[in-house]
Each structure stands twice: as structure tokens, then as C-alpha cells.
Chains A and B, each alone.
Chain A
Amino acid sequence: MNLHFDVEGGEFISAGVASSKVKKVLKQLAIQPEIIRKISVAMYEAEINMVIHAHGGVIDAEIMPDHVHVVLKDEGPGIENIELAMKAGYSTASRLAREMGFGAGMGLANMKRYADILQIESEPGKGTTVEITVKLYPEQA
């Protein structure tokens, strides 16, 4: 199953629509709660980053029999130094974003922790693409 979402930039309020939709679909498929949490938290973190650090973008989620693959693509400012950005606590979040409880600098760390495979490609000035893969039945792998 393929799901496509357009995410608007600066829309702190509606952010999370895509990840909660994917979460609902997985719940209907009776996937284990811990696995659903891994996917939806990783995806929500990436979705929020698109909104607060870039100006929105597109998300394509592919739900396969044994894994979920989510591609989040934005044309925002890009990430200069991905290694640095991955460090827990590193954040360039705006004051407004911080007032809303973002900006702990833990988003990428959470993605890394919850995704089975995490790929980030970014070019300063061009944009960022985050790919998250989570296995649905890890014990059988």
C-alpha cells in the first residue's frame, strides 16, 4: 500500500497528520504496538523537522508485507553537517518552535534509534531527503 502526503511548512498545528494516518493503517493491520511506535515516532520526528526546519515537503509511505519504507523529501535549507545534526542536543530550532516544545535536538537521535535503516541525504541550499525503513516482524528476519 502506498500513501502520499503533502506537508505544508510552518504548519505546527497540523503537523503529524501523515504519521498518525500511517499509524492508524498499521493498527488496522494488527501490527505489534512496539513496532507501530517505532515507525510512527521516527516518521513524526522527520515530519516535524520538515515543518520547522524546511518549508514542508512531500512524504511517501510504502507499507509492504514485511516492512514499512517512508521517504520524506523537502526543498528546505538542507543540513550542512549531518554528523553534527545527528548529535543528541544539537538544534537550530527557532524560538517559536522551542516554545512549542521542539528543539531538544533529539529528533534525529530518535529516528536513528527507532528506524531499522535510516538514510539522510542533504545538500545545503537544495533540500533534505530522509528515508526510514522499519521491519514489521524483526524476530523472523
Chain B
Amino acid sequence: MTINDVQTILKATVVTQSLYENNEVLSGFVGDLLSVVMGKAKEQCAWITIQGHINIIAVGTLINVGCIIVTEGFKVDEDAIKKANEEDIVIMTTQLSSYEAAALLSRDGLE
């Protein structure tokens, strides 16, 4: 599944420069506690979280995240978006809950 597919399935809004729509995501991970994400999320995963602050970029970079999906309508901080653009990380936002987002991606075949 590509990042573009993720965006289409969730009808999400990409808030970063969208240059990487064709990159693949290989799995999904839901988590709001950063250490848990760093311990468990796989490379190139679609990371679903309610956290919208700059530390998600550090974590996303460390785990080579595929894209970050910020759910529940939470806002992504400006400095986080700026940093994400520097680090080539894609962030999208949605009003869906983390559960709904995960369920939709799962239904369309994301592990």
C-alpha cells in the first residue's frame, strides 16, 4: 500500500509537502507513548497517533516511519510540520479515531 493509498482510504489531509505519495507503507502501528512506538513499530509503518508535537518527528525519523497519521482531529504543531519537511516525513491528519483509521487500513489489507 502506498502513502497515497493511505490518504485516499482515510480521506486524510496531508499537512506536509507531499512528495512521497508513491512510497510504500508495509505495516500499521497505533501508539501514543513514544517509547512503546520506538520499541515496537516496524520500519516503513503507517504510525497512527493522537500526538501532534515535534517529538513525533524525532521518533518517526529514528524508526524510519512510512508516514504519520494524526487522528481525532488533533492539530499538528507548526514546528513539527517544518521539521517533518526537513526530514522528508509525511504527516496526515484525520477526524477519525485511531481505531477507525486502523480498521480502515486493515480492511484494505495493511498488516
Chain A interface (Cβ < 8 Å from any Cβ of B): 12-13, 15-16, 19-20, 23, 33, 37, 40-41, 44-45, 48, 100-107, 109-110, 113
Contact of A19 among B35, B54, B62 (CB under 8 A): B62
Chain B interface (Cβ < 8 Å from any Cβ of A): 32-36, 38-39, 43, 49, 51, 53-56, 58-59, 61-64, 79
- 15 residue pairs bridging A and B, Cβ less than 8 Å apart: A12-B53, A13-B55, A37-B62, A41-B63, A44-B58, A44-B59, A48-B34, A101-B51, A102-B34, A104-B35, A106-B33, A106-B35, A106-B36, A106-B38, A110-B38
Number of A-B residue pairs, CB cutoff 8 Å, is 69
Contact of A13 among B32, B54, B61 (CB under 8 A): B54
What is the minimal beta-carbon distance from B50 to any residue of chain A, in angstroms? 9
Task: State A26–B35 Cα separation when bound (angstroms).
Answer: 22
Task: State A54–B70 Cα separation when bound (angstroms).
Answer: 30
Main secondary structure of the interface of A (DSSP, over half): helix
Q: CB distance B39 to A23 under 8 Å? A: no
Q: CB distance B39 to A100 under 8 Å? A: no
Which 5 pairs show the lowest CB-CB distances between chains A and B?
A16-B58, A106-B35, A104-B33, A104-B35, A101-B34
